[in-house]
Structures are given as structure tokens and as C-alpha cells.
Amino acid sequence: MARLFLYGTVQGVGFRPTVHRVATGLDLPGYVRNNGANVEVCIPGGEPEANDFLARLREELPPLAEVTDYDIEEGEPDGDAFVIIPSSEGPRLSIIPPDTAVCAKCMAEFHDPADRRSKHPFLNCTDCGARFSVIRDLPYDRPLTSMAPFAMCERCETEYRDPATRRFHAQTTNCPDCAPRYMLLERGGQELDGDPFAGFAARVMEGGLGVMKGWGGMHIVCLPEVADQLRERYHRPAKPFALLVRDIEAARHLADMTPGEEEVLTGHIRPIVLVHKTGTGSLEGVAPGLGNVGLMLPYTPSQMLLFEHLGVDALVFTSANLPGEPIVMTKEQALALDLDVYLLHDREIIQRADDSVLKVRGDRRFLIRRSRGVVPTPIDAGHQRSVLAVGAQLNVSTALTTGGKMFLTQYIGDSSKHPTQRFLEDSVSHFRRMFGIDTIEAVAADMHPNYSTLRIAKGWAEEEDVPLVRVQHHHAHAASLLLDAGRDEAVVMTIDGLGYGDDGVLWGGEVLASERTSYERVAHLEEVPMVGGERAVFDPRRLVWAAHHLLDRNDWPEGTASPEEDRVWSQALAGSPRTTGMGRFLDLVSVYLGFSHRMTYDGEPAMRMEPLLERGSHRPEWGFKVERTTSGRVGTLSVLSTLFDLELGSDRDRADAAYCAVDAVVSGLADSAADEAERRGVPVGVTGGVAYSLPILDMIAARVEPRGLELLLHDRIPPGDGGISSGQALVAGLGLD
Ligand SMILES: [Zn+2]
Ligand SMILES: [Zn+2]
């Protein structure tokens, strides 16, 4: 007789029903039960029989399940049937599944007029549906989810108890007779009569701005044609909006996609994928000035139902929130947005989960926002300690480690705002409770003295009476890459916006010879002053002006600086903070060449230049050349001097100039990294917010790969600041040993 203990993603994914089916198929008596976070199976026979059973089980595993490890012990089943028995308390480190897009079988039921769940907006099964956003506590059973108030009807209950159905032990199962209810509200909150989906669709088709509640939050919904109204209302003059698109056919009309992009778009995470717009220009209002647009296919049956009532194939579908604040969860928060119409339901959202956003390069996926569909799936922690890391300032996600696993929370956002700070605190307590992280041994934070996350981290460190570990921003990026790639050492290009450096300079264009716990800065971009400090981020004309000033020229383009600004900035120059940031260099070039004027959202000038970098080509006659000093300085000013000397007539010229200037600087940094990597016999890595730029990654690959060096890129951890906490948690945890 044998008892099998199975570890991995084994709860909330239809695991016990599958065990039951396999065992009864083999005529085995015994039992299966959730044992804390794991699953325990008892069957007759010894170890060989248990291994045979396991092999069979692996073949039949449901799509979301994964057995990462197992133990076999002696055990004795009684009785001669195979049964699912009540859960027992056990070790808590459990894996909650992420919210998972509607599966093919459920989609078939949705479209089958004869099925009792046809067109049902809360349709789900053991393979799909909301999980992370509805689970309040473990073990994962209905009373501990936000489905608790909705008692199963008799027919659902029968299916739930019948091992032969797809909804055997499906905790969130429901049908039109026992589901939460959608309702249509007008601006003031008054409920409107009639079919809520038909009514909502009609208002949207008339050009209204609506709010729709989903699984882990709400979305603002409108026609792409009225995106401008939304911009005005929310003071988002240029920030791109994502589109929800009816199906993959409709997506192909809007974007030129690679097979890899289509695969990700239709996969079970179903994120927003940034893809190339087709040349028609019809999406200009949705993603102004950008080459990419974010597309997403329906992942909830409610989104499929909405399209049944719409005469269009694409809708603006963007997280409903006030700028900088977390995604809206409650009716009160939604009504405060004061939009035209609301499609809400009465199931509570337990945890927020914004849509994940990613970019695809060949067979690589770069997570820009790691949230719905991915969270809370853990990664290896790289150590056994329990630490908590808070990230940086923008795009925050926190990291918690325990028992060798690292959990990155959902996307939190801009931590400078109070509601976002409360969300961060709530998310951390939720994760600690869910994953049984009672004790914390260290708290990790950035070195920047003014980040809100630092204040929060200090509070936690005091409360828990544990050390506060400050980790340099770009070492955290580099460590996150090493963790992601499963390496101990690499020469890492950390190309980024800004991060507080060891020397008080704002870094962001560095080459760090990195190990998991230490680093050596071997190269960096030349420092340029940020006149007015942070203001130069939002107004990159200041960078253009400063570069001219340092080069002793005053032939800056018209509009760069008024005589008054010239005077004031000249006085401010000496006392201005300095930066080596690649992001700032890109902003400077973008604004100098007229591709953008101001930064109205994070990364805007660089993102607007990206399509030009994709189109541009080498012009050897221009003589772009980068200087590298023996101390590791990569000269940006000499490159800018060449750029400022050019007479640029056509758009083609300007694209080529952008390409040549950026390629010169990127190549200088990449060559420094490759030289050092060769010396040390380790790979070159790329991380940081600029590592999302595919043309820049191509420039780097072209310098590194022909030398036979391996290029490490991210996979499961975001290259940008959403991944910072994982690097902090790695460094802090290893530092405790
Ligand atoms: Zn399903
Ligand atoms: Zn029912």
C-alpha cells in the first residue's frame, strides 16, 4: 500500500477529480485529499505501483496542473472504492492558480444554444475561470471564495458531486439559476431595466463611456472613435489604450502579427500583447504616435457576451482607475468615475488583478505588467529565507519569499499615491496570509532616499524587528535577471530610466559585472545634467538644451529654450543632478528630432522614437563614432555633437539619424559589456526599462552574438521596475546566510 504526496500546482485546477478518474479507470480503491497545500493519494501496492499510477496521472493532467515533486510513504486505504475525502491541515505553502481565460470546452458550451449555460457570463469549469481574484483564504473550497453567498442549485450540486462531469469539485461552478447577477446602472447609480448586456452595448455603440466589472477589477469601455473624450476626461493626452478584440481574425485586421504573437494572444493567460499596427492609421487615436497597439482577446464569458450585442470588433478596454491609483473594485469607486453607464455584478472582488501586458520577440516573452493570468504563480527564490521586498517607485510589485519560493504580487502601480500604498499593504498581508508567511527575516528596499516604498519598508522592518536591506536599483535589476535566467554571474547591461546610484548620480546606462550578491560597475554612459532635476524627465527640452550648452553651442532647434529659460537654466546647470540614464538619452534624441515634445506618461518620448529605430538604417558617411575611456565611460556627447551637426531634410533622414545616434551609444555600451564578459568567461545580460525596446535589443544582439557570447534576456520576471522587487528579495535573502 502506498501514500503519494504530490507537490506543485495541484489545488484549484481539477486535480482531485483527475486523480479520481485515473484511479477508478484502473479499478483501484483508495482516496485522494487536499493535504494543506499538497495532495495526498492512497492506493494499493508499493512504490512501483505508485510510480506507474503517477506516470498515468501525468498523461491525463488538466491543463493548469503541474506536479513539481512527490514523496511516497507507506499507507493503507480501507474500503474498496476510490473516494475524495475532506481536506486535512498540512504544510501551507500552497499554490493558488491564477485567473485563467475561458477554456475551449466552456466556449463551446457558451455558443451551444441547447446548453443550459449558453451565453452565461459566469461560465467556468475546473480548467478555467477566476481563481486568484476570488479566493479569500485556503483551503480552496467554495465557502472561502467570493462565491460563498451564491448557493449551488440542485443541478449544479449534482454535477459537483459527479466524478463523470467537467465540474466535479469545481468550487466556483454556477449556472443561470445560481450565479451572481449582472446589472445595468446609469451615471448616478440608478438600476436600469432590460437586458444589462444589450443595454450596455447600446450605450457604448452610441458613443457612451462605460464601466464594466470583470474578475479582478473594472474596465473603462468605449468605441475607439471616442478615445479622445476619454483622454480629455482623464487628462491622459497621449497614453495608449488597449483594445479588446472580438477574435483573432479581427485582431489580424488591426495588426501585423508574428505566429509567436498570435500564440500568446490566444493562450490561456490571454494578456494584452503589444503588436505592430497595420498601416491603415485607423488606431491613431488609441495609441497616438506609436508603432504598437495593445490588443487582447476576450478572456471572460461576460466579455464574449458583450460582443454578442455589439456591431463592432474592437473596443477600448482599459483599467478603470483615477490616474496613478489602483484599478477600481467596488461600485462606489466605479460610480465616482462619473461615466455614462455601468455594467456591474454582485460578486465581490477579493484581490485586484490588472490585465498582464507583454511583448514578444521570437520565442521570447517580455512581461511589461505581470498580473492577471500569471499571479500568484511563484518562481524559485534562490534561497530558503523569508524576506519581503518592496520594489522601487513606479510599476511596483512586491516580492515575498518562503520555503525556497518567491511570490511576486500583482501589479500595484505608482506607489507615490496613498490609495496605491494601501493597496500595496493589503496585497502584502493577503499574500502573507495565503502562503503562511508568518515570519519575515528581512525587508528590502531601494537606495533612493525619497521613494514612498522606502518609508513603508522602514515601517515593516521596525514592526518585525528585522534588518532593512537597501539594494542598489540596477544591481536589483541585474540580480532579477540572474534569478530569471538561473545563473550566478553575468556582465549585465542595465539600461533604464533612472535609479539612485552608489555615488548619488542617477544611473541608468550601466554595465555591471554582476553576481547574485555583489557587482562591479565596469562601464557607464557619460553623465549629463538634468536641469531642474525631475522636471527634466517631464520636459526633455532641458536635456537637449544642456547637451548643447556642454558642447558650447547655441544652435538648438527652435522651441528648445526661450531666452529667459536659457538664462535661468544656465544658472541652474552647475547645481543640477546628473544622470547616466539610457532612458534620458533616448528622450533627448527623440525630442531633438521632433518625434515628441514632452513626457506625458512614463517612457513616452523613447516609445515614440521606437518605430523610427525600426525603420532607420546605417549612414556610414555621417561618421557616428562613440568614444570609450579606459575608466569605462561611454561618450554620449561626441555622438550628440555629430547628430547636432547634421542637416536633416526628409523624414527618412531623421529616422536614420535617430538610428545612427542610438546605435552608436548602444553599441559602445554593448562592446564594453562584451569585452568584460569575454575576460570573465560569462554571458552578457540585458535588463531595465529600455530592455523592452526590440530595435535596441537587436542592436545589442548584433554586437554580442557574433563574438560567440551568450545573451541573457528576461523570461518570467519583468525587465522593468515591475521586476525590481525580485532582485531585491534575492540579494536580501542571500545576505542573511
Ligand atoms: Zn472551462
Ligand atoms: Zn446552478
Q: Which ligand is nearest to the CA of 129?
A: 1
Quote the ligand 2 centre to 291 CA distance (angstroms).
46
> Ligand 1 mean position to 121 CA, how many Å?
12
Place of cell 531633438: 592
65-79, 242-256, 317-331, 505-519: range with lowest mean pLDDT: 65-79
- 20 CA to centre of ligand 2 in angstroms: 23
When pLDDT is averaged across residues 510-524 and rounded to a whole number, the result is 98
332 C-alpha to center of ligand 2: Å? 29
**Centre of ligand 2 from the C-alpha of residue 179, in Å:** 7
Which band of pLDDT confidence, cut at 50, 70 and 90, is reported for residue 75?
confident
**Is pLDDT of 86 > 80?**
no
Ligand nearest to the CA of 117: 2
Cell of 450: 525619497
- What pLDDT is recorded for position 96? 84
Cα 441 to ligand 2 centre (Å): 46
pLDDT bucket at 69, cuts 50 / 70 / 90? confident
The answer to whether residue 260 scores a pLDDT higher than 90 is: yes
Nearest-angstrom CA–CA distance, 355 and 371: 6
168 C-alpha to ligand 2 centroid (Å): 13
Mean pLDDT of 33-45: 85
Sorting pLDDT into bands at 50, 70 and 90, what band is 81?
confident
Q: What is the mean pLDDT of residues 169-197?
A: 96
94 confidence band (pLDDT: 50, 70, 90): low
Residue 459: CB partners within 8 Å, gap ≥ 6? Answer: none
Q: How far apart are CA 132 and CA 153, in angstroms?
A: 24
Provide the pLDDT confidence category of residue 641 given band limits of 50, 70 and 90: very high
Number of H helices, E strands in the chain: 22, 31
Q: Give CA–CA dist 599/587, Å, rounded.
A: 8
pLDDT at site 206: 97
Whether residue 397 is predicted with pLDDT greater than 60 in this model: the reply is yes
**In the prediction, which pLDDT does 477 show?**
98
Residue scoring higher pLDDT (198 or 35)? 198
pLDDT for 80: 78
Contact 94, 34 (CB under 8 A): no
pLDDT, residue 82, reads: 86
How much is the pLDDT for 222? 97
Q: Any idea which ligand is nearest the CA of 109?
A: 1
- pLDDT tier for residue 280 given thresholds of 50, 70 and 90: low
Q: Quick one: which ligand is closest to 153's CA?
A: 2
User: Confidence band (pLDDT; 50, 70, 90) for 162?
Assistant: confident
- Whether residue 719 is preceded by a cis peptide bond, meaning omega within 30 degrees of 0, is no
pLDDT band at 239 (very low <50, low <70, confident <90, very high): very high
pLDDT band at 93 (very low <50, low <70, confident <90, very high): low
- Ligand 1 geometric centre to CA of 430 (Å): 26
Which ligand is the nearest neighbour of the Cα of 177?
Answer: 2
- What is the mean pLDDT of the segment spanning 58-83? 83
In angstroms, what is the span from residue 59 Cα to ligand 1's centroid?
19
Identify the nearest ligand to the CA of 178 by its number: 2
The Å distance, Cα 245 to ligand 2 centre, comes to 30
Instruction: Report residues near ion ligand 2: CB below 5 Å.
Output: 153, 156, 175, 177-178
**For 97-113, what is the mean pLDDT?**
96
Q: How far is the CA of 148 from the centre of ligand 2 (A)?
A: 13
What's the pLDDT band for 660 if we cut at 50, 70, 90?
very high
Q: What is the mean pLDDT of residues 94-111?
A: 91
Q: Which three cell numbers mark 451?
A: 521613494
Give the chain's length: 737
Q: Which residue has the cell 545576505?
A: 735
330: pLDDT confidence band, cut at 50, 70 and 90?
very high
Measured distance CA(560)–CA(551) in Å, rounded? 15
The reported pLDDT for the residue numbered 92 is: 55
Answer yes or no: is pLDDT of 231 > 80: yes
Q: How far is the CA of 14 from the centre of ligand 2 (A)?
A: 19
How far is 387 from 729, CA to CA, in rounded Å?
6
pLDDT of residue 85: 83
Taking the centre of ligand 1 as the mean of its atom positions, its distance from the CA of residue 493, in whole angstroms, is 43
Answer yes or no: is pLDDT of 480 > 70: yes
Centre of ligand 1 from the C-alpha of residue 373, in Å? 14
Strands, E assignment, 374-429:
379-380, 387-389, 399-402, 405-408
Confidence tier at 320 by pLDDT (50, 70, 90): very high
Distance from residue 116's CA to the centre of ligand 2 (Å): 9
Separation of CA 166 and ligand 1 centre (Å): 8
User: Greater confidence, 683 or 62?
Assistant: 683
Percent of the chain with pLDDT over 70: 98
> Is residue 97 over pLDDT 70?
yes
Q: How many whole angstroms from 102 Cα to the centroid of ligand 1?
A: 5
Separation of 559 CA from ligand 2 center, angstroms? 65
Nearest ligand atom owner, CA of 105: 1
Ligand closest in space to the Cα of 175? 2
664: number of Cβ within 10 Å: 24
Give the distance (Å) from ligand 2 centre to CA of residue 183: 19
**Which of the pair, 44 or 133, is modelled with greater confidence?**
133
Beta bridge partner(s), residue 408: 399
pLDDT at 64 over 90: no
State mean pLDDT over 220-224: 97
Q: How far is the CA of 150 from the centre of ligand 1 (A)?
A: 19
The closest ligand to the CA of 128 turns out to be 1
Is the pLDDT assigned to residue 281 strictly greater than 70?
A: no
Nearest of 679, 699, 681 to residue 691 by alpha carbon: 699
Record the pTM: 0.91
Ligand in closest contact with the CA of 300: 1
* Ligand 1 centroid distance, CA of 120 (Å): 12
Q: Does residue 89 carry a pLDDT above 70?
A: no
| C-alpha 108 – ligand 1 centre gap (Å) | 9
